[in-house]
């Protein structure tokens, strides 16, 4: 059974699927999680604190998933290609993670602002960690690479950066007309807005034709002796 904190974070994430963060009400989240509003404020301190906790949990869950993918047995190149596929699929389904990895935040998502300097530390240890602020995209990429075997570091960073390039600029389905320059944004929550949002992050299946090629590229990288002491891609 989830704790009150986890239930509140789940409720906040579910609310984001239907409305922008600015329209999410703390009272509604407490009701959805079946806890009192006092419990909500005891855990997070404020709506900003809840936003920081939600973003931190997303980063932690991502790294936990990375470690699970990398722990699978098999040839390193195949594992790293699987990691790239997993990142593409995960970010397609989780807008907060996509923003964390790309740095592309918008008004619909919780603002990842750190706690004010000099603010009283939170009473809950998990919240004190969240209040430090989320990792920057480069830090999250570095943390991803750190999960891999040192011998795979260069290939792992390559796999992650290729996956993120796919997330940022996914292929456009054949026959899709281009959006004219200067077209105003589609209102969030409308059917047209949903279609536009889908176009910003293609379905995971669109990655599949690339997998054999990416696997061969990663195999080549892993065969090359890395001379940099950091063993990372530029």
Output the pLDDT for position 69: 94
User: Does 102 map to a domain?
Assistant: yes
Q: What is the mean pLDDT of residues 58-63?
A: 96
Residues contacting residue 90 through CB under 8 Å, at least 6 positions apart: 62, 65, 97
CB 1, CB 10: distance < 8 Å: no
Give the ranges where the chain is alpha helix by DSSP (H).
4-16, 26-33, 37-44, 47-70, 76-93, 95-102, 125-131, 137-146, 153-168, 191-200, 211-223
Q: Has residue 49 got a pLDDT over 60?
A: yes
Is it the case that residue 44 has pLDDT exceeding 80? yes
- Using alpha carbons only, what angle is made at residue 203 by residues 202 and 204, rounded to the nearest 5 degrees? 115
Q: Which band of pLDDT confidence, cut at 50, 70 and 90, is reported for residue 50?
A: very high
- pLDDT attached to residue 223: 66
Q: Does any domain span residue 20?
A: yes
- Tell me what pLDDT residue 212 has: 67
Rounded CA separation 130/12 (Å): 15
195 band by pLDDT with thresholds 50, 70 and 90: very low
Residue 36 pLDDT > 60 = yes
Identify the domain containing residue 38 by its residue range. 4-223
Q: Has residue 200 been placed in a domain?
A: yes
Examine residue 231 and state whether it is found in any structural domain, yes or no.
no
pLDDT score for 224: 60
Using one digit for the tens of pLDDT, what is the confidence trace for 137-156?
999 999 999 999 888 888 89
Q: How many domains would you assign to the chain?
A: 1
In a domain, 54, yes or no: yes
Instruction: Confirm whether 27 is domain-assigned.
Output: yes
- The enclosing domain of 60 has a CATH number of 1.10.357
**Burial (Cβ within 10 Å: 0-12, 13-18, ≥19) of residue 25:** exposed
């Amino acid at each position: 059974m989830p704790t009150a904190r986890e239930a509140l974070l789940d409720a906040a994430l579910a609310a984001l699927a239907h409305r922008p963060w600015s329209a999410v009400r703390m009272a509604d989240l407490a009701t959805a999680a079946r806890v009192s509003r006092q419990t909500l404020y005891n855990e997070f301190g404020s709506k900003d604190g809840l936003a920081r906790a939600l973003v931190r949990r997303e980063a932690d869950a991502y790294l936990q998933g990375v470690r699970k993918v990398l722990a699978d047995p098999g040839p390193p190149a195949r594992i790293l290609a699987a990691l790239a596929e997993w990142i593409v699929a995960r970010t397609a389904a989780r807008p907060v993670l996509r923003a964390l990895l790309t740095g592309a935040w918008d008004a619909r998502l919780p603002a990842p602002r750190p706690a004010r300097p000099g603010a009283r530390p939170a009473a809950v240890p998990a919240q004190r960690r969240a209040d430090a602020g989320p990792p920057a995209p480069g830090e999250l990429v570095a943390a991803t690479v750190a999960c891999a075997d040192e011998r795979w570091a260069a290939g792992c960073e390559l796999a992650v950066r290729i996956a993120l390039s796919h997330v940022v600029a996914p292929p456009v389905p054949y026959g899709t007309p281009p959006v004219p320059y200067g077209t105003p944004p589609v209102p969030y929550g409308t059917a047209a807005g949903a279609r536009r949002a889908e176009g910003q992050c293609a379905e995971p299946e669109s990655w599949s034709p690339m997998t054999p090629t990416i696997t061969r590229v990663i195999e080549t990288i892993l065969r090359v002796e890395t001379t940099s002491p950091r063993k990372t891609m530029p």
